[in-house]
Amino acid sequence: MLRQKDLAPMTLQRLRIAKGEKMRMKLYPNLYLSNVQEITIGMLIKNKIKALILDVDNTLIDRSKNLSEEIVEWSRQLQGQGIKMYILSNTNQAKKVKAIAEKLEVPYKIFAKKPLKGEFLKIQQTLKMKPENIAVVGDQIFTDVLGGNRCHMFTILVDPIDEKDYWYTIWKRPIENRIKKKIVKGEINVF
C-alpha cells in the first residue's frame, strides 16, 4: 500500500514535468513562416486575427536598418483590408523605430521588455480586442513568441531577415533552430 510519504515525491515529480511541458508549449508559435510578407489576409481571416503586434529588428528591418519596399507594400495592403498594426520593440533606439513606424503609418512602443506581458496587454487594451484576435509577429522565440503566448495571443514566428545576428540574440539561435526543425518535421503540432 502506498503511504503519503511515498506519494509526495511522485506527485512533486509529476508536477515538475507538467510545469516543464507547459513552459515548452509557451515557446512554440502557432505559425512559422519565412517572412512577414507570407502573412496573407486569407490566413488572418481564417484564424480570426484582426491586429498584428510587430517586432522591428530582423522582422521588419535588417541589420543596416533597411525597410524593404515589399514590406511597406505588404503593410499598406493589410491595413487597407482592415488589419490593425502596432510596433512593439525591445530596443531603446527611438529614432530608428519612429522612422519605421512613420513609414508604415503604425503606432509604436519601444523598450517593451518582451517577453514581459505589460506592453502586450496595454496594446490589447488600446485595440479593445480579445487576445486570440491579436497576432504577435517576430523572429525571436524567447521574446516575441514567449511574450505573445503568455498573453494568450496568436503567435507567428518568422525567420530573421539577416543571417548575421546581434551579440545579444546569437546565443538563443541554436535553441530556436531546434524548435523550428521540429515544427518543419511535423513533430510539433502548430496550429
- Closer of 64 and 189 to Mg ion (Cβ): 64
Instruction: Give the number of residues in contact with Mg ion, rule: CB under 5 A.
Output: 5
Nine-digit cell string for 142: 524567447
Determine the Cα–Cα distance for residues 84 and 82; give it in Å rounded to an integer: 6
User: Do residues 164 and 63 lie in contact, with contact meaning Cβ atoms separated by under 8 Å?
Assistant: yes
Give, in degrees to the nearest 5, the angle at Cα 158 between 156 and 161: 155
Write down the least CB distance from residue 152 to Mg ion, Å: 21
149 binds Mg ion per the rule CB under 5 A:
no
Determine the Cα–Cα distance for residues 172 and 144; give it in Å rounded to an integer: 13
CB-based burial of residue 70 (10 Å sphere; 0-12 exposed, 13-18 middle, 19+ buried)?
exposed
58 binds Mg ion per the rule CB under 5 A:
yes
176 binds Mg ion per the rule CB under 5 A:
no
Write down the least CB distance from residue 35 to Mg ion, Å: 13
- Residue 191: name the closest of 141, 154, 159 by CA: 154
Of 13-21, 43-51, 61-69, 138-146, which part binds Mg ion (CB under 5 A)? 138-146
119 binds Mg ion per the rule CB under 5 A:
no
Of 51-59, 94-102, 103-111, 120-128, which part binds Mg ion (CB under 5 A)? 51-59
Determine the Cα–Cα distance for residues 32 and 7; give it in Å rounded to an integer: 41
Of 26-34, 58-66, 117-125, 126-134, which part binds Mg ion (CB under 5 A)? 58-66
Of 41-49, 70-78, 132-140, 176-184, which part binds Mg ion (CB under 5 A)? 132-140
57 binds Mg ion per the rule CB under 5 A:
yes
Which residue ranges make up the site for Mg ion (CB under 5 A)? 55, 57-59, 139
